[in-house]
Structure 1
Amino acid sequence: MKSILTTTAAFALLTGAGLADDRGMEFRLGVTAHDLADHVEDGPNVTLDLLFASPDFLDAIWSPRPYLYGSFNTNGLTNFGGTGLAWDFEVAENLNFEFRTGLTYNDGVEDIDPNSPPGDPTRIRLATTRSLMGNEILFHNAIGLDYDLNERWSVGAYYEHISHGQILASGRNQALDNAGIRFGYRFGN
């Protein structure tokens, strides 16, 4: 996971951070309700987000902003970190809609050992307390609505889904759905 995040950070810094647009670089801190769909895993997640200015070569696809993202479960269950692109669309004055898509790496349980007997305590514990992700690498899709409090600070609500979608893997795919709030701080300008 470190190599994925390091490579992505280097890419984003080289291509995006030096190019200032009206949004610039932004840091976000949030908290989400974890595993809303199946509610097998519990505990809120703390989220960290770093968005970069959109590099010029992405103008052809409506100038998305590269991002780095981490989501950490407070109960020691599935954590994930990822990278991708985020599109911001102004809905009204100071109100922005965001769509993002990317890839994540998670430290969750992929699946239950198919050779374990049905009464195996480990099998039962995993089936009742963990989301079975099906793969370490998953898609990350999210939508959010952010309100600009001023030029630097924003507050927002968002929903995210991580899953392999039967594309990055096959078989087990319980996925995770999280929703929460976040506070953002924009640097520069």
Structure 2
Amino acid sequence: MKSSVLAVAAAVLLSGPVLADDHDWEFRLGVTAHDLSDHVEDGPNITVGLVGPEIEAFSLIWTPRPYLYGSFNTNSLTNFGGAGLEWDFPLSENISFQPAFGLSYNDGVRDIDRNAPPNDPNRIRLATTRSLMGEHILFHTTFALNLEVSENVTVAAYYEHISHGQILGSGRNQALDNAGIRFGYRWGGGRY
């Protein structure tokens, strides 16, 4: 499953220039506060991303851009990476709203051993220090407010949520909520 998701993501990103050769690529680097809802896991996450050109073939769904994304916890807790589609809805000349939706893979703890006795030290440690994700493959949803500082530089404040929503899994679903800031560098094709 993981290799299928990565293969689809790579195909979409590589086909981008063929589908719409007049729009930019964007590299992003950011930092997020990690696990805002439960705050069981600590430490900020360092994030990296690559967003491809608009996919003109998807114009029926407002011409999204494909993205690849990675989020790495500085305390060696839950890391995740994802791929999906992002939209860009202008609010003014330099400000836009950017929702995104995709799939992610995380290396977090799925669940505690429910057969372990309640006083088992490992069970207690996991329940009090880790978000219990339920599954390794989860949905990835992002909402960003993006400012175009110049033709090539952007800065955005964003919120992201990874969860299985009882669709990709059942049972445990503590999920993760992160919020942060990212900086982007665009190249190729000129402004939108």
Residue 11 of structure 2: aligned partner: 11
- C-alpha distance in 2 between matches for 1:184 and 1:14: 20
Deviates more, 1:12-21 or 1:73-82: 12-21
Secondary structure of the 2:110 match is: coil
Instruction: Show the counterpart of 1:133.
Output: 133
Q: In the alignment, which residue of structure 2 is the partner of 1:172?
A: 172
Q: Secondary structure at the match of 2:81?
A: strand
- CA–CA distance in structure 1, aligned partners of residues 83 and 6 of structure 2: 11
Give distance in 1, aligned partners of 2:67 and 2:106: 17
2:21 corresponds in structure 1 to 20
Match of 1:77 in 2: 77
Amino acid at match of 1:116: A
Quote the offset at 1:6 in angstroms: 4.3
The answer as to whether partners of 2:83 and 2:102 remain within 8 angstroms in 1 is yes
Q: How many residues align?
A: 188
Aligned residue type for 1:21: D
- Please tell me whether the aligned partners of residues 13 and 67 of structure 2 are also in contact (alpha carbons under 8 angstroms): no
Deviation (angstroms), 1:21:
3.5
Pairwise CA distance, 1:17: 3.3
1:43 correspondence with 2:46 = no
Q: Deviations for 1:19-68, whole angstroms, at most 9, x for unmatched residues?
A: 3234x111100000000000000000000110001222111110000100
**Would the aligned equivalents of 1:5 and 1:68 in 2 still touch at CA under 8 Å?**
no
Distance 1:162 1:38, change over 3 A: same
Letter in 2 for 1:38: D
**AA matched with 2:96:** N
Give the gaps of 5 or more residues in structure 2: none
TM-score after normalising by structure 1: 0.95
What per-residue deviation string (whole Å, max 9, x for no partner) do you get for residues 140-182 of structure 1?
Answer: 0010011011100011100000000011100000000000000
Q: Which runs of 5+ in 1 are unaligned?
A: none
Alpha-carbon distance change, 174 to 29 in structure 1, aligned in 2, over 3 angstroms: same
Aligned residue identity for 2:22? D
User: Superposed, which structure 2 residues align to 1:96-175 within 5 Å?
Assistant: 96-175=96-175
SS at match of 2:13: helix
- Contact 1:64–1:86 under 8 Å retained in 2: yes
* Alignment check: 8 A CA contact 1:32 1:47 kept: yes
CA contact (8 A) 1:17 1:25 kept: no
Q: Once superposed, what is the RMSD of the aligned Cα atoms?
A: 1.4
- AA in 2 matched with 1:13: L
